[in-house]
Amino acid sequence: MILGWCTVLSVILWGLVIDRGIVARLNRHCDQPFRDGADFLFSGILPALAISGGAATILGAFHGLRWEIVLPVVVISMIWRRRDLVAVLCDLASLLRKITAETKSGNPLPALAAFTCIILCYVWSVLAQFPSGIDDVWVFHIPLAKSIIEHAGFVSPQIDHLFYGNIPLFFNLLFALAMMISGHWTGAGAVNIAIFFGFLFLLSSCASRWRACGFFLVVILIFGGSFFTRDVGEPMTDLARSCFSVAAMLFLWRYLETGRPAELFHCALVLGGAVGGKYTELQMVGLIGLALAPTLFKRRISLPLFLSCVYAFLAVAGYWYAKNLIVLGNPIYPFLFGHPGLTDSWMADYMLELGRPFKPANRHYVTNLASLQGLHDFLYILYEWFLARRVNAFFALTLILAGLAVAFRRVAFLTAMVVAMFAIWYTVMFNHIRWATPAYLLFFSTGFIGANVVRERLDRWLDRHVLPQIAPFAKIASSPACRVASPVIIGLLAGGFWISHWHRMGGSDIDPIKAKEFDVVLGMISVDKYMESHRKAYFMYRYIADHDLRTVFQPFDPANTLFSTAYNDGHDGGWQLPRHVLPAPGSDIDAFIRDNQIAYFIVPPDADSAFLTERIGADKIVMANSVIAHMMPRSSLILMDRFGWKLYRFDADRAS
């Protein structure tokens, strides 16, 4: 994880250096090209990643994504832009000095905000070491990143699946950049953590003053529930593309507020990242285009700026669509314009899956907003899924309404975008709540913007009545005794909490089954022991690898070989037979067992569940059960985990 973080920070630094020169050139006619160095650092992380990803896309298109090529390019460009490199490092040093100065002057909030970021980064980094339990991570996302590394760029298809091997891969490319050095999937987790931090910093930097207070308000709004934070370090692309999409809308809002050309350029960059990562984010191109239409018609955007934004967008997102157009004849393959290589029946099944809710219980809702029932269901879903029993969501809604009351024009734009995005999700993508992540993230972001405009109206009153009242406390907090005593007290409280919690959990004899993720973060139990006690198949797949058992028949896990590899630090010893390898109907089962050298098999407690039957296929479940039934009389149980998974040894020579 440490090596992954070093790689990610290097990628961000390179992007910031390149971005700083571009920003200075675009804003050269502004009275204040940079708001300040801190604002550039906070708001520049996502554009920096977009720039790095765009450069990597160009190299990957020519199979130049090799370190013997990447390293000289980075070194030469850093020497070329050495003034911008020095400026970025000076901005970082200035930020640290400012935090120190604010602490000395009696304002501990910047230091507390920095401390909070360090704690959050540590917690997410620890949790990112938990192998994901989501099939898509091991079936698509990590294999796609590894394929990019192995080919030093892009091929078609990228993996052995015509659809998933030809989708936009911007975020998988970022995963690959980190994994090229770290060699481990935790590097992909570090990329997602950095993206989420970049979004949090961007949002807090939208505050005109008191950005440290703004950061804590962002934490209260977004961290009030687990909707976003539970998957921060997961090597998935949903949260990452949502952060880029909403960041594009925030940069557009900043451009309309300040008129700085670089804000619109940043909007184009991160929008390119979002569109280059998922087809669904094409909706943002339409929404942002509609929002910019009046400005374009009035010719308030110069032609050079407009062309710069178009080029930036295409540099980041254009490759994936151009490649599909050239190779497959469809830029958004396999939708709308044909699906060569995929059968009509496969496509019909896939469109049916996308077009209806994943859970059958939600399929009765009407998604036609032109009908009264559809409008009623839409409002019901918004309340039940996104507001009910969520205090932070009601808090954000209150802030939005307050912002509309105080400065309607400034908040109405983002509010309208929130409504439009929720409506698009409900009418077009009402398959799963995760497709609504960008809309929900923009909802909380709009709540923060509403709080900011309200606070701006209160600034004079606060400066006149509140700040003089807290001045005596500021003098006390800035005294040398308090500056020494505060970290000592915090350290003693943290140490006391750790010791008391350690004793309460049983000390050195902590029960792994009773342990929580929080205990792993506190270092009381290892990741392995926690996973063995809380993740199905983890203990068994580790046992199989540790004892080099061959060959294991496991037909009831849709991603058995992938999870087996993931749970053993990426090593694949060929221990398990792939789940799809089954005897043909009516064939000789003994011959199948002998040809595949099956010596062990696994039976989970839910082998006959309706979920597995739907997921794997009823005919395959029947065939798998027939093989198990054939082997069972000549088998002996050698292991059972706490979840009821049973591992049997098969003795082919024993009489049944």
Q: What would the pLDDT profile of 233-282 be if each residue is shown by its tens digit? A: 899 999 999 999 999 999 999 999 888 999 999 999 999 999 999 999 99
Residue 528 — very low, low, confident or very high, per pLDDT cuts 50/70/90? confident
Q: Where are the domains of the chain?
A: 353-465, 527-648
Give the residue from 103, 106, 33, 25 showing the smallest Cα distance to 475. Answer: 106
**HSE of 164, CA atoms in CB hemisphere, 13 A:** 16
Task: Give me the chain's average pLDDT, please.
Answer: 88
Give the number of other CB atoms < 10 A from CB of residue 372. 10
Phi, psi of 553 (to 5 degrees): -95, 115
Instruction: Return contacts of 330-334, CB within 8 angstroms, 24+ apart.
Output: 332/279, 332/282, 333/163, 333/166, 334/163
Instruction: Out of 74-83, 185-194, 602-611, pick the least confident.
Output: 602-611
**What would the mean pLDDT of 501-508 be, rounded to a whole number?**
70
CB atoms near residue 410 (< 10 Å)? 18
Among 163-177, 188-202, 257-271, 571-585, which is the least confidently predicted range? 571-585
Q: Summarize the confidence of residues 618-643 as an average pLDDT.
A: 90
Burial class (CB in 10 A: 0-12, 13-18, 19+), 427: middle
The SS3 call for residue 334 is coil
Specify whether the CB–CB gap between 8 and 191 falls below 8 A. Answer: yes
- The pLDDT-based confidence of 482 (bands split at 50, 70, 90) is low
pLDDT at 466 over 90: no
Over residues 219-231, mean pLDDT: 82
pLDDT in tens, 307-328: 999 999 999 999 999 999 999 9
- Per-residue pLDDT band for 225 (boundaries 50, 70, 90) equals confident
Contact 599, 551 (CB under 8 A): yes
User: Using 50, 70 and 90 to split pLDDT, how confident is the model at 356?
Assistant: confident
* Torsion angle of the four alpha carbons 138, 333, 274, 286, in this order, in degrees rounded to the nearest 10: -150
Task: Using DSSP bridges, classify how beta strands 600-603 and 552-553 pair: parallel, antiparallel or unpaired.
Answer: parallel
Return the pLDDT at 198. Answer: 95
For 433, the token pair is: 């709540």
φ, ψ of residue 374 to 5 degrees: the values are: -65, -40
Percent of the chain with pLDDT over 90: 52
Cis upstream peptide for 334 (omega within 30°): yes
Conformational region of residue 281, where left means phi above 0, alpha means psi within -120 to 50, and beta covers everything else: alpha
What local confidence, expressed as pLDDT, does residue 272 receive? 97
Over residues 409-434, mean pLDDT: 93
Which of the residue ranges 209-223, 351-365, 376-390, 479-493 has the most confident prediction, judged by mean pLDDT? 376-390
Any alpha helices (H) in 105-140, and if so which ranges?
109-127, 135-136
Q: How far apart are CA 646 and CA 649, in angstroms?
A: 10
Contacts (Cβ under 8 Å, ≥6 apart) of 100: 111
Q: Which pLDDT does position 508 carry in this prediction? A: 67
**Over residues 402-427, mean pLDDT:** 94
The top-scoring range by mean pLDDT among 108-112, 410-414, 428-432, 642-646 is 410-414
E-only strand ranges, 144-303: none
3-state secondary structure of 163: coil
Helix (H, G, I), strand (E, B) or coil at 218: helix
- Residues in contact with 538: Cβ distance below 8 Å, sequence separation at least 6, in sequence order: 131, 531, 532, 567
Q: Is the pLDDT of residue 22 over 90?
A: yes
**Is it the case that residue 191 has pLDDT exceeding 80?**
yes
What confidence tier does 157 reach under pLDDT thresholds 50, 70, 90?
very high
CB 15 within 8 A of CB 197: no
Using the predicted structure, report yes or no on whether residue 181 has a pLDDT greater than 90: no
Mean pLDDT, rounded, for 399-403: 95
Task: Mention every residue, 6+ apart, whose C-beta is less than 8 A from residue 362.
Answer: 430
How do strand 552-553 and strand 576-577 relate by DSSP bridges? parallel
Categorize the per-residue pLDDT at 535 as very low, low, confident or very high, splitting at 50, 70 and 90: confident
pLDDT at residue 138, rounded to an integer: 87
Q: How far apart, in whole angstroms, are the C-alpha atoms of residue 88 and residue 20? A: 8
- Distance between CA atoms of 322 and 315, rounded to whole angstroms? 11
Q: Residue 120 has which token pair? A: 């959050």
Q: How many CB atoms sit inside 10 A of residue 40's CB?
A: 23
Q: How far apart are CA 30 and CA 262, in angstroms?
A: 10
Which three-class secondary structure state does DSSP give residue 506? coil
Higher per-residue pLDDT: 522 or 10: 10
- Residues for the chain: how many in total? 656
Alpha carbon distance 130, 126 (integer Å):
8
| Amino acid identity for residue 645 in this structure | W
Closest CA to 87 of 126, 44, 117: 44
> CB–CB of 305/26 below 8 Å?
yes
The helix (H) or strand (E) run that includes residue 552 is strand 552-553
DSSP 619-639: HHHHHHHHHHHHHGGGEEEEE
Q: Where is 639: in which H helix or E strand?
A: strand 635-640
Statement: residue 49 has pLDDT above 90: yes
Q: In whole angstroms, how large is the CA radius of gyration of the chain?
A: 27
pLDDT of residue 481 exceeding 70, the answer is no
The span from the CA of 552 to the CA of 564, in Å, is 11
The more confident residue out of 572 and 368 is 368
Q: How confident is the model at residue 475 (pLDDT cuts 50, 70, 90)?
A: low
Read off the pLDDT band of 87 (50, 70, 90): very high
Q: What is the pLDDT of residues 563-615, one digit of tens each?
A: 888 888 878 888 999 888 888 888 888 899 999 999 999 999 888 787 777 77
229 DSSP 8-state letter = G
Share of the chain above pLDDT 70, in %: 95
pLDDT tier at 405, thresholds 50, 70, 90: very high
Q: Residue 486 — very low, low, confident or very high, per pLDDT cuts 50/70/90?
A: low
Owner of token pair 């022991």: 529
Contact 555, 620 (CB under 8 A): yes
Rounded to the nearest 10 degrees, the angle between the axes of helix 372-381 and helix 408-428 is 110
Residue 511 confidence (pLDDT) above 70: yes
Q: Which two tokens stand for residue 324?
A: 């599909």
Per-residue confidence (pLDDT) for residue 656, from 0 to 100: 53
Q: What is the pLDDT of residue 472?
A: 63
State the pLDDT at residue 64.
Answer: 93
Is it the case that residue 470 has pLDDT exceeding 70?
A: no
3-state helix, strand, coil in the chain (%, to 5): 70, 5, 30
pLDDT bin (cut points 50, 70, 90) of residue 478 is: low
Q: How confident is the model at residue 655 (pLDDT cuts 50, 70, 90)?
A: low
| pLDDT(411) > 80 | yes
Q: pLDDT grade, residue 491 (50/70/90)?
A: confident
* Residues in Cβ contact with 607 at an 8 Å cutoff, skipping those fewer than 6 apart: 556, 621, 624, 625, 628
- Taking phi over 0 as left and psi of -120 to 50 as alpha, with beta for the rest, 152 belongs to left
Give residue 376's Cα distance to chain centre: 32
Which range (121-125, 182-186, 198-202, 208-212) has the least confidence? 208-212
Confidence band of 463 (pLDDT split at 50, 70, 90): low
Residue 513 pLDDT greater than 80, yes or no: no
CA atoms within 13 A on the CB side of 214: 26
- What is the structure's pLDDT at 50? 97
Asked if pLDDT for residue 483 goes beyond 80, the answer is no
